[in-house]
Each structure stands twice: as structure tokens, then as C-alpha cells.
Amino acid sequence: MKISALFGTILSRKSSSRWSHLKIAVLCLLAMFASISLSGGILFPNPLLTPDSTGILSTYGKVDITNPFFQKLGTNGRTCNTCHIPSSGWTITPEDVQAKFYATNGTEPIFRTNDGSNCPSADVSTPRARRNAYSQLLNKALLRISIATPMNAEFQIIAIQDPYNCPETTTANPAFYRRPLPSTNVNFLSAVMWDGRETVFGAIPGKSLNLQQSLANQAQDATTGHAQGPVPTPEQLAKITEFETGISTAQAFDLRAGSLTTEGATGGAINLSQQDTYIGINDALGGDPTGAAFNPNAFTPYESWKDSFSTYRQSVARGESSSITFPFPSRMLAASTMHSSNPSSWAHAPRVTTRRMPAITLFRCRSPLVRRHILCNPHSTSTGCPSTRCCASPPVRPCM
């Protein structure tokens, strides 16, 4: 595996930013310190430190590049790492994608028409055609995800205005263009994927999450979908989920504030990895299963900086405190629930700024009867659902 593949744009970016020399130096050090572990595999230093535009990002946990996450499990040359790059917070940025385009004239495995181009049937025969075909990916790092409207949706798509005139984009199969979600810090998730479609509930539907199963299903679908491969083996899926649940990522060093663990601050990936979490923790709407009352003052990693000698650190402490005390209307809280898998500015779970409750998720399963993906809402009665098995509780993709 090429170091540049693992770390995205850092080596290949054309820009002569003041960071570029430091970045190369850091990567050389990383390559030198990558070690063969006793249990097999090739481990990167722990924490894995990579430069970013505001300082240094850290990933704490075992980053073993022989894990199937970094292997080509499909037929189109992609790995999970193609779209989840450590130095970009385990997602991708337009800079990552553009660097790959420059380096390969748009033939690197991220440039595949199944979901990389604006339209699956786009012309990709020449570099110029490829630049047009992959414009969403190049300019915004967005992949094309096409999902039918849920059968029980409270809306209908009656017309589509498609700037790409894509024959595959229809009212029945609209196109969504989505940035890969970070495949790190997954222990804090309460829903998997932007629309929660890979979420599998635990013992208490709606109140608990079977994270391992959700991630295994997700990894399977990523392999058969993004990588156009066969279904991975249970061992491969287990290794991928073990890897994903074993890493935590956070900024470690800020150009202006310095170390984020100095003067009593508790930022950084190591502190994050030790953060307690469970579904409903410190829930603003009274849903904490332990019965504990909501503590609005739970997001405090930089509280000690209010007395710092550095005025910049003081401003960080003030920012943290105002994000806690700013009164959000309850509708915004509900919105935060819907987007609970994404970083947001709601300070509820201690140190982690999301409300940890499962969103109203749409579940996908494959019905042998209709031979296509079906979405159904597990919270609804089975009205409008094509298969009651889809909506059975717990809705663990029984149609597979």
C-alpha cells in the first residue's frame, strides 16, 4: 500500500502551503515508525498524528493497514480507505479527490461510474469527459447514492429537474449526492448512514443500537456497492467492525491554541476514546435510561482555559460555554435527533456534541418478492409497507 493512498492529499497536493514540508516530514516519520505487530499486521504509531489545515489531527487506536478495511475486497480497485482517509478525518475532501485526478488523469479507483460520476452512464472516455462526469466528486467530494423514496414516505417526488440529464435519475430512483461520513468515532453513533438506513436496533427497538450488526451490514453493502464486490466473509466483516469501533479521532494540536490537552484541557483523541457513552446519555428531552437528569453543562473539555494566560484559549473557553448556554428551541433539538450521526453544535452527550438518541430511521431490506431495495419506517405500523416482515420489530433486515 502506498503511503500516499493512505494519507490522501498530503504528499500529492500541488499547493505550496506552509504546511507541506511539515507534512512530508511527518509522513516520513510515520512510515519509519510503522511497525510489524506481534499479533501480525502492520501498525502505524498510536496515536496516529497527521497535519491538517489548522494543526494536527490524531487518531487513537490500532491502525493496522493489513485490516480488510485497507484491502481491495471488490472488483473495481477500491478499498474502504479510498473514501475514508485518516488524514482527512476518515472521510474525503475535494482536495483529496482533485489530487487523485491530477495524479492519474481521473483513472484512480475513486473514479468509477457506479457511484463516483454524476450519472452512471456518463461519458468517461477522455480526461476532459471525466472532469465533467466526476464534477460533484471533484468539486465537493460527493458520491452519487440512488435510493428509492420510501413506500410510506409522507411525500411524493412528482418531477425531477436534473442538470446532468441522467437517464438513471428518475422520480422512482432519485440521486442523492453525499459526502462519506467519517468511519471513526462510530461508538458515538445512534444511527448509521445519513438516513440511518443501516441502523439495526438492539434489544429495545428505538432505544438501543446493535452497533456491531449495523456496521457489519454497512461494510457488506459498501463492498457490494461502492467496491462492486462479492459479499465479504464473516471474518472480514468482523475485522472491519473491530477496526472501526477501536479508533477515535480528534484534533490534537491547534496552530493558535497549541496542544489541546494542555492547561487542564481534555481535547484530543485519547480523551475522546475514554468518554463514556450509551444511547440516551444526558438526553435533553429526559430520555436517559438511567433516569439521570439532563445536565446542560456537560461539554466542558476546555473549561479550564477560561483562566488561561493565552487570550486565544480564553476565547475557546468562552465559545464552549456559549454553545452550552445558548437556548436552542425544541424544534432544533428534534432536528439534531434527525442528524444525530453527524457532528452538530448541540452539547448534550458529555464531551460529544450530539444528542444520542436513535433518529426516526428508515430501514432497508431486500425483498425476494420485488427484488429491489425497500425502505420502511420501523416506527410506523405496517401501513404502506410492502412487506410486513420489513416493518417487523426489531427490523433487522429480515428480507435478506
Contact range with ligand HEC by CB under 6 A, out of 8-16, 187-195, 200-208, 276-284: 187-195
**Binding to ligand HEC, residues 155-174 (CB under 6 A):** none
**One-letter amino acid of 191:** A
Among 82, 136, 169, 361, binds ligand HEC (CB under 6 A): 82
**Binding to ligand HEC, residues 320-379 (CB under 6 A):** 341
Instruction: Provide the mask over 21-60, with x wherever binding to ligand HEC is found by CB under 6 A and - wherever it is not.
Output: ----------------------------------------
The CB-of-18 to ligand HEC minimum distance in angstroms stands at 31
**One-letter amino acid of 273:** S
Contact range with ligand HEC by CB under 6 A, out of 20-28, 30-38, 184-192, 247-255: 184-192
Give the C-alpha separation, 315 to 211, whole Å.
37
Give the C-alpha separation, 220 to 212, whole Å.
12
**Quick check: 218 binds ligand HEC (CB under 6 A)?**
yes
**Quick check: 100 binds ligand HEC (CB under 6 A)?**
no
Going from the C-alpha of 175 to that of each of 116, 142, 303, 339, the distances in angstroms are 12, 11, 44, 20
**Quick check: 86 binds ligand HEC (CB under 6 A)?**
no
**Quick check: 84 binds ligand HEC (CB under 6 A)?**
yes
Three cell numbers, residue 223: 463492498
**One-letter amino acid of 305:** W
Burial 344-356 (b: 16+ CB within 10 A, else e): eebbbbbbbbbbb
Q: CB under 8 Å to 315, separation ≥6 — which residues?
A: none
Q: What sections of 13-154 are H helices per DSSP?
A: 20-33, 80-83, 94-104, 127-133, 135-140
Phi-psi region of 248 (alpha: psi -120 to 50; beta: other; left: phi over 0): beta
Among 97, 143, 166, 385, binds ligand HEC (CB under 6 A): 143
Among 5, 219, 352, 391, binds ligand HEC (CB under 6 A): 219
Binding site for ligand HEC (CB under 6 A): 69, 78, 80, 82-84, 115, 143, 145, 178, 180-181, 183, 186, 189, 192-194, 215, 218-219, 222-223, 226-227, 240, 244, 341
